[in-house]
Amino acid sequence: MKFPTFSKGVHPSDHKEYTNTKSIEFMPLPEEVFVPVQQHIGAPDDPVVERRDEVKTGQVIGRSDKYVSSPVHSPVTGKVKKIDSFLHPMGSKVTMIQIQRTGEDEWDLLDHPDRWEDASVDELRQLIWDAGIVGLGGAAFPTHVKLAPPEEKPVDSFILNGCECEPYLTSDHRAMVEMTDKILTGMSIIMKTLGVENGYIGIEDNKPDAVEAMNDRVRDLGMDYTVMALETKYPQGAEKMLIKSVLDRKVPAGGLPMDVGTVVNNVGTAIAVAEAFTEGKPLVQRVVTITGDGIAEPKNVMARIGTPFQSLIDFAGGLKEEATQVFMGGPMMGMAQHDLSIPVIKATSGIICSREATITKMNTYPCIQCGACVDACPMNLVPTRLAKFSEQKMIEAMEQYDIDSCVECGSCAFACPSHIPLVQWIRVGKYRVNESRDKQAA
Amino acid sequence: MTDEKQDASKESEKKQAEESESSGKSGAETEKSKKSRKKKRKKKKKDPRSKLFSLDRQPFVLSPSPHQYSEDSVPKIMWSVVGAVAPAAIMAVYYFGLPAVWMILACTFAALGTEVIINKIKGEGLTIGDGSAAITGLLLALTLPPSFPVTGGILGSVFAIAIGKQIFGGLGANIFNPALLGRAFLQASFPVTMTTWTLPNTAKFSGVDAVSAATPLGQFKFEQIMTNYGDLLVGNIGGSLGETSAIAILLGGIYLLVKKYADWRIPVSFLGSVFLLGGLFWLINPSQYPDPVFHLLSGGLMFGAFFMATDMVTSPITPKGAWIFGAGAGLILIVIRIWGGLPEGVMYSILLMNSVTPLINRYTRPKVFGEVRA
Residue B197 bridge partners (DSSP) = B213
Give how far A98 is from chain B: nearest CA, Å.
Answer: 11
Task: Express each pLDDT in B184-230 by its tens digit.
Answer: 999 999 998 888 888 776 544 444 455 667 788 888 877 778 888 88
- Residue B8 pLDDT class (50, 70, 90 cuts): very low
H helices within B66-149, ranges in order?
A: 74-96, 98-122, 132-142
pTM: 0.87
Contact residues, chain A, for B69 at CB < 8 Å: 358, 362, 413-414, 416, 419
| Closest residue of chain B to A248, computed from CA coordinates | B370
- Residue B76 pLDDT class (50, 70, 90 cuts): very high
Residues 6+ away with beta carbon under 8 Å from A368: A417, A418, B74, B77, B132, B171, B172, B312, B313
Query: Looking at the predicted structure, is the pLDDT value of residue A228 above 90?
Result: yes
* pLDDT (0 to 100) of residue B35: 53
Distance CA(B299)–CA(B197), nearest Å, equals: 12
A321 vs B135: which has the higher pLDDT: B135
- Residue A137 pLDDT class (50, 70, 90 cuts): confident
Contact B85, B307 (CB under 8 A): yes
Please state, as a whole number, how many other Cβ atoms lie within 10 Å of the Cβ of residue A205.
18
Name the burial class of residue B236, with classes exposed (0-12), middle (13-18) and buried (19+) by CB atoms within 10 angstroms of its CB: middle
- Return the number of CB contacts < 8 Å for A and B: 202
Name the burial class of residue A184, with classes exposed (0-12), middle (13-18) and buried (19+) by CB atoms within 10 angstroms of its CB: buried
* pLDDT (0 to 100) of residue B57: 56
* pLDDT (0 to 100) of residue A236: 95
Q: What are phi and psi of A14, to 5 degrees?
A: -90, -20
Mean pLDDT for B338-355 is 91
Contact A342, A424 (CB under 8 A): no
Contact A39, A70 (CB under 8 A): yes
* pLDDT (0 to 100) of residue B36: 54
| Closest residue of chain A to B365, computed from CA coordinates | A382
Distance CA(A416)–CA(B70), nearest Å, equals: 8
Query: Looking at the predicted structure, is the pLDDT value of residue A208 above 50?
Result: yes
* pLDDT (0 to 100) of residue B211: 60
Indicate the residue of A255, A384, A418 with minimum beta-carbon distance to B74.
A418
- Please tell me the least confidently modeled range out of A85-94, A130-139, A292-301, B12-21: B12-21
Q: How far is CA B334 from the centre of its chain?
A: 24
Task: Express each pLDDT in A39-92 by its tens digit.
Answer: 888 888 999 999 999 999 999 999 998 999 999 999 999 999 999 999 999 888
* pLDDT (0 to 100) of residue B12: 46
Query: Looking at the predicted structure, is the pLDDT value of residue B53 above 60?
Result: no
Contact B364, A373 (CB under 8 A): no
Distance CA(A122)–CA(A192), nearest Å, equals: 11
Give how far A364 is from chain B: nearest CA, Å.
Answer: 9
Query: Looking at the predicted structure, is the pLDDT value of residue A272 above 90?
Result: yes
Please state, as a whole number, how many other Cβ atoms lie within 10 Å of the Cβ of residue B372.
9
* pLDDT (0 to 100) of residue B7: 46
- Residue B4 pLDDT class (50, 70, 90 cuts): very low
Contact A72, A99 (CB under 8 A): no
- Residue B133 pLDDT class (50, 70, 90 cuts): very high
Query: Looking at the predicted structure, is the pLDDT value of residue B19 above 70?
Result: no
Q: Do A431 and B61 touch (CB under 8 A)?
A: no
Q: Do A423 and B170 touch (CB under 8 A)?
A: no
